[in-house]
């Protein structure tokens, strides 16, 4: 199965929620009732009220001007409206950042519990290895022995080095040792996994700031990418998480996981519109190949 087909299938729940309304209404004149039904579908897909309000105002203005009479034209206007929001935040991919960046290139992965952070780090590691890059994993989630063991399994599987301490160790110390080791070994990429933490817990966010500070002291300019991993199934709560992490450590990119498990895939649009932080990666399945660079046009094509 090709990537676009996987993306299209992964977005099927969201597509059914949004454009399914239009599919059922094709051939019917575009009238206020049709647009009311569409508005409900857009809200349900978690595009966010600011986006929905602007899109609906555009559609209603077009209808008042008599510029269309069919639901198919509503689809095209909707498609273009979403694309206009996503394209300005389209940014360099992780691979492009690494190609243009220093060595070692340091990626700090952050996020709340259960979003797929460790798995995302592992998938990226395998990608880099397939590209011939030397990668180093840093097991910064010292709160859970299982997280350290999970990262060790991925390190063994992908044949990369890993820096780990005992459970309960200071995660900033693990990060420090990871950066020191990467510089000594000439690693291309360092991926630092961190413990999942509630974005509302001040002490945990302070610890994350400490990790970032230690990394920057040992490797000026690092981390070069602060990658926030978000679970698409939580909808609008993802925006609240992103705001808190951004304020704490300056998020530079977002990896949005579990898009295949939700009808709320419109959260990609809401994030782009509200936060202006690039969505770098999206996940639509369990395999390594299912974590791919975000492309605005491909996303819109698959959605509509």
Arch. (CATH architecture) of 3-89: Up-down Bundle (1.20)
d(CA 283, CA 280) in angstroms, rounded, equals: 10
10-residue mean pLDDT series, the chain (304 residues): 73 76 64 79 84 85 68 77 90 95 97 90 94 96 88 94 94 97 97 80 86 96 97 87 92 91 78 90 84 90 81
Give the pLDDT confidence score for residue 225 in this predicted structure: 98
Residues of the chain with CATH 3.40.50.300: 94-303
pLDDT digits (tens, 9 = 90+) for 69-94: 566 677 788 888 889 999 998 899 99
C-alpha neighbours within 13 Å on the C-beta side of residue 121: 37
* List of residues 6+ apart from 247 with CB closer than 8 A: none
Q: Where in the chain is the domain with CATH 1.20.120.140?
A: 3-89
Is CATH 3.40.50.300 the classification given to domain 94-303? yes
b/e string for 78-112 if b means 16 or more Cβ within 10 A? beebbbebbeebeeebbeebbeebebbbbbbbbbb
pLDDT at position 177 is: 98
**pTM, rounded to two decimals:** 0.90
pLDDT of residue 12: 81
Cβ(241)–Cβ(277) under 8 Å? no
Angle at 64 between CA 59 and CA 66, to 5 degrees: 95
Residue 68: partners with Cβ closer than 8 Å, 6 or more residues away: 30, 62, 74, 77
pLDDT of residue 24: 67
The pLDDT value given to residue 195: 86
pLDDT value at position 139? 95
């Amino acid at each position: 199965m090709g990537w676009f087909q996987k993306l299209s299938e992964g977005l099927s729940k969201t597509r059914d929620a949004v454009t399914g309304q239009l599919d059922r209404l094709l051939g019917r004149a575009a009238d206020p009732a049709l647009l009311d039904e569409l508005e409900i579908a857009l809200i349900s897909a978690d595009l966010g009220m600011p986006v929905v309000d602007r899109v609906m105002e555009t559609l209603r203005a077009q209808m008042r001007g008599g510029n269309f009479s069919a639901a198919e034209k509503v689809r095209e206007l909707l498609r273009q409206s979403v694309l206009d929001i996503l394209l300005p935040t389209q940014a360099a991919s992780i691979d492009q950042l690494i190609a243009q960046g220093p060595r070692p290139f340091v990626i700090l992965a952050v996020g709340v519990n259960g979003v797929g952070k460790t798995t995302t780090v592992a998938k990226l590691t395998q990608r880099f290895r397939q590209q011939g890059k030397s990668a180093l994993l840093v097991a910064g989630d010292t709160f859970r022995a299982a997280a350290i063991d999970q990262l060790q399994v991925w390190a063994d599987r992908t044949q990369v080095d890993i820096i780990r301490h005992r459970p309960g160790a200071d995660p900033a110390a693990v990060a420090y040792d990871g950066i020191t080791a990467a510089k000594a070994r000439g690693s291309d990429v360092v991926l630092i996994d961190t413990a999942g933490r509630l974005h509302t817990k001040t002490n945990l966010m302070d610890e994350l700031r400490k990790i970032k500070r230690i990394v920057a002291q040992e490797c000026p300019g690092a981390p070069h990418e602060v990658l926030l991993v978000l679970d698409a199934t939580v909808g609008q709560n993802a925006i609240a998480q992103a705001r808190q992490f951004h304020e704490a450590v300056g998020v530079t990119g977002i990896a949005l996981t579990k898009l295949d498990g939700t009808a709320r895939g419109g959260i990609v649009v809401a994030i782009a519109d509200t936060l202006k932080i690039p969505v770098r990666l999206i996940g639509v399945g369990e395999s390594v190949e299912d974590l791919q660079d975000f492309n605005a046009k491909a996303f819109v094509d698959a959605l509509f």
